[in-house]
Amino acid sequence: MELSTKTSRIEVVDALRGFAVMAILLVHNLEHFIFPVYPESSPEWLTILDNGVLNVIFSLFAGKSYAIFALLFGFTFYIQSHNQLLKGKDFGYRFLWRMILLVGFATLNAAFFPAGDVLLLFAVVSLILFIVRKWSDKAILITSIIFLLQPIEWYHYVMSLFNPGYTLPDLNVGAMYDEVAAYTKGGNFWEFLTGNVTLGQKASLFWAIGAGRFLQTAGLFLFGLYIGRKQLFVTTESHLKFWIKALIIAAICFAPLYSLKEQIMQSDSSLIKQTVGTALDMWQKFAFTIVLVSSFILLYQKERFKKAVSNLRFYGKMSLTNYISQSILGAIIYFPFGFYLAPYCGYTLSLIIGIVLLLLQVQFCKWWLTRHKQGPLETIWHKWTWLGTKK
Report yes or no on 2 lying in a domain: no
Report yes or no on 391 lying in a domain: no
Q: Look up residue 333 and give its amino acid.
A: I
Q: Cβ-count burial of 272 within 10 angstroms (0-12 exposed, 13-18 middle, 19+ buried)?
A: middle
Handedness of CA 357, 359, 362, 366 (dihedral sign): negative
Distance, CA of 42 to CA of 47 (rounded, Å):
6
pLDDT at 8: 40
Report yes or no on 3 lying in a domain: no
pLDDT at 70: 96
- CA distance to 306, 315, 361, per residue, from 14 (Å): 12, 8, 15
Report yes or no on 1 lying in a domain: no
Q: Which of 334, 267, 350 is nearest to 58 (CA)?
A: 350
pLDDT at 16: 96
- CA distance to 26, 62, 353, 356, per residue, from 47 (Å): 19, 21, 17, 22
pLDDT at 116: 75
Report yes or no on 202 lying in a domain: yes
Report yes or no on 198 lying in a domain: yes
Q: What is the DSSP letter of 198?
A: I
**Number of domains comprising the chain:** 1
Distance, CA of 347 to CA of 52 (rounded, Å):
9
User: How many Cβ atoms from other residues are within 10 Å of residue 344's Cβ?
Assistant: 13
Q: Check: CB of residue 21 under 8 Å from CB of residue 320.
A: no
Q: Cβ-count burial of 106 within 10 angstroms (0-12 exposed, 13-18 middle, 19+ buried)?
A: buried
pLDDT at 131: 98
Whole-prediction pTM value? 0.94
Report yes or no on 270 lying in a domain: yes
Report yes or no on 367 lying in a domain: yes
Q: Check: CB of residue 114 under 8 Å from CB of residue 200.
A: yes
Q: What is the 3-state secondary structure (H, E, C) of 303-342?
A: HHHHHHCHHHHHHHHCHHHHHHHHHHHHHHHHCCCCCCCH
pLDDT at 5: 38
State the 10-residue block means of pLDDT for the chain, 391 residues long: 41 95 96 93 95 96 94 96 93 96 95 88 97 97 98 95 90 92 91 93 92 95 97 94 98 97 94 95 96 97 95 96 96 95 97 98 97 96 88 54
- Domain carrying residue 332: 11-386
pLDDT at 60: 94
